Structure 1
Amino acid sequence: MATSGTYVTEVPLKGAAEKHYRKWKSENHIFPDAIGHHIKNVTVHEGESNSHGSIRSWNYTWDGKEEVFKEKREVDDENLTLAIRGLEGHVMEQLKLFEYWIPTQ
């Protein structure tokens, strides 16, 4: 039987909202540098790296196996919010729908 439902959580962040928004929006190259033992690289397939509608894939290690997650990003600079929608990859084999929002205000 498949599991269904919604998981929602809030994580308080210290520092300016603009700083966190900028990191999530356009500085994804820092993740492989910071946690390279998990995230191997982030590749942009369509659009500019920080533009609305860009498509990128994350290559990462999960339980010792190389996996891929492909996402589409929706950028709202006015409200400092990112929406990420899963398109394909390891996560999408487990879930019917994968979406998350990063509001920083």
Structure 2
Amino acid sequence: MGLKGKMTVEKEIKCHGDVFHDLFRHKPHHLANITPDHIQGCDLHEAEFGTLGSVTLWKYTDEGKEKYMKVVIEAIDEEKKLVKFKAVEGDVLQIYKEYTATIHVDTNGDDHLVTWTIAYEKLSEDSPDPISLLNIAIKSTNEIEAHHVK
């Protein structure tokens, strides 16, 4: 059994992809108000929100437990509406040696598709795949969509 893995989910959204991308790139601290059951906070620690190399501390709930993850923005592609976060500290690194989450939004006219990709390397064969974290991404996407399509 391999220790490295990648999980991807695509979700069509009714709100505009630019709104979704802007929220994760420039305004992640607003997510606690939109998805309070899943994300309780996003505090800036270094640089400015939405800049390459910026560091944020995310507080979230995973399987009923409050957790945290400090991440650095590792990649930004404005044309592709892509932001890639790499975990550098937190609960997730007690299970995974490496953990990245990439959010990419495809916009084609009135069609908007959010793609979440989680890449990881387990610390051991017994470590679970990050399905619960992917579920948080899906549920948060649904709540963001509902918030912006009123």
Alignment TM class, shorter chain as reference: 0.7 to 0.9
Secondary structure of the residue that 2:98 maps to in structure 1?
A: coil
1:62-101 to structure 2, matched below 5 A, reads: 62-73=62-73, 74-101=75-102
Bigger shift: residues 59-68 or 76-85: 59-68
Q: Tell me the equivalent position of 2:52.
A: 52
Alpha-carbon contact 2:38-2:62 (below 8 Å) kept: yes
**Distance in structure 1 (CA, Å) of the matches to 2:87 and 2:18:** 24
- Shift >4 Å, 4+ stretches: none
Q: RMSD value over aligned CA atoms? A: 2.1
User: Does the residue aligned with 2:92 lie in a helix, a strand or coil?
Assistant: helix
Partner of 2:12: 13
TM-score (structure 1 length as normaliser): 0.82
How far does residue 36 in structure 1 lie from its aligned partner after superposition?
Answer: 2.1
What is the CA-CA distance between 1:45 and the residue it aligns to? 0.6
Structure 2: runs of 5 or more not aligned = 107-150
DSSP 3-state at the match of 1:43: strand
Counterparts in 2 of 1:8 and 1:67: CA distance versus 1, 3 Å: closer
Structure 1, unmatched stretches of 5+, are: none
Matched AA of 2:102: W
Residue correspondences, number: 104
Higher relative contact order (CA 8 A, sep 6+): 2
The aligned residue for residue 24 of structure 1 is: 24
Q: Percent identity?
A: 22
Tell me what 2:3 maps to.
4
Contact persistence 2:29–2:43 (CA under 8 A) = no
